[in-house]
Amino acid sequence: MYTEEKQRQLIQKTKQLLDITIDQIKTIDDAKAIINDLREVIRYHDWRYYVLANPVISDYEYDKLFHLLKKIEQKFPELITPDSPTQRVASGLTKEFPQVKHLAPMLSLDNSYNEEDLRDFDRRVKEATGLNTVEYSVEPKFDGAGISLVYEDNLFIRGATRGDGIVGEDITNNLKTIKTIPLSVDFKSYGIKKIEIRGEVLIRKDLFKKINQERLEEGLPP
């Protein structure tokens, strides 16, 4: 995602931004001069922390950068953008989700427990593709919750559950709290204006166990 040279540049920008305080940001031009760099380095450090699990700055330094961004956006709200790291906050969460229609049906995969089913699948793939030989990539299946993410003009605009495959529940605000889901991606450079991406959300077993224990301590069912 980041070249070595880009990472060196972002680490250098990080050092420069850590020396800036909100008191130095007196005008909107002062804010405009650093806000894009500030967002870029925060996204980079999110990636280092949440994707690589290998941060290069301390929690204190990260918090300092994040709080500076929040203060700037509070001072100049017209500079807030939908993909800003501050827009991941959970204030918009709800338990009642509106329904949304998928851009294309979100179908489920068939399973198989015998060789005959697999050979039949291979036959159908060859017939559909017109190929005599097909290579397959096989990987373990994660048992998570299926979701779709819609990006338009590079921005994450909607996330939904699978639902019945045609209509799902809009959980956009909930998904924005997951820091491994980017709020913006440069799809336009590939000629893509709008795209729907499917995947699964997962929770690690140790975190799942911790949450259940906390619920039990609060007198709630696991």
Q: Which CATH class is domain 99-206?
A: alpha beta
Q: pTM of the prediction? A: 0.63
What is the pLDDT, as a whole number, of residue 38? 98
pLDDT in tens, 20-78: 999 999 999 999 999 999 999 999 999 898 778 789 999 899 999 999 999 999 999 99
Output the pLDDT for position 93.
52
Q: pLDDT value at position 94?
A: 55
Supply the pLDDT for residue 89: 58
What region, left, alpha or beta, does residue 20 occupy, with left being phi > 0 and alpha being psi -120 to 50 degrees?
beta
Residues of the chain with pLDDT under 50: 91
CATH architecture entry for 4-88: Orthogonal Bundle (1.10)
Question: What pLDDT score does 220 carry?
Answer: 86
pLDDT reported for residue 109: 72
Query: Which sequence positions are flagged as catalytic?
Result: 141
Domain parsing of the chain, residue ranges: 4-88, 99-206
Residues 35 and 79 sit within 8 Å (Cβ to Cβ): yes
pLDDT number for residue 221: 85
